[in-house]
Amino acid sequence: MSVWPSSEYAPGLRGAEGILLSIRVSVEPRLLEELLEALAEVPFPVNPEIHHPLAVPAGERSRTIVEFPAYETRLAEVRETLRRHGFDPDSARVASMLEEIQGRPARDWRS
């Protein structure tokens, strides 16, 4: 794995399949099981981290956040799987893992 800059993206952790990304999907708690079942169909292992925020701002619905790593070459497969299962593929927040670790804002990684 390398940390040298890519020509297309900000510096990141790079492997054979491109830059390592952090993908975050936010869903209503009642849809968590459906999202996890969809992610089980992605053609690579997904190790999700699940967050249930304790505080919900007034006037907003409670959301559950599912985060997992994936390489940039796999992003299209993740988006297609979300779409096939009725989730909005563009709602996934994607950042390079290095940016995520450094606390930088997410970029638009749409493919």
pLDDT in tens, 89-109: 888 888 888 777 777 655 554
Indicate whether this model's pTM tops 0.85.
no
- H-type alpha helices, the chain: 32-39, 75-84, 97-102
CATH topology of domain 14-102: Alpha-Beta Plaits (3.30.70)
Strands (E) located in the chain: 14-15, 18-27, 49-51, 64-71, 93-96
pLDDT in tens, 26-53: 999 999 999 999 999 999 999 999 998 8
Residue 44: its pLDDT value, please? 92
Domain ranges of the chain: 14-102
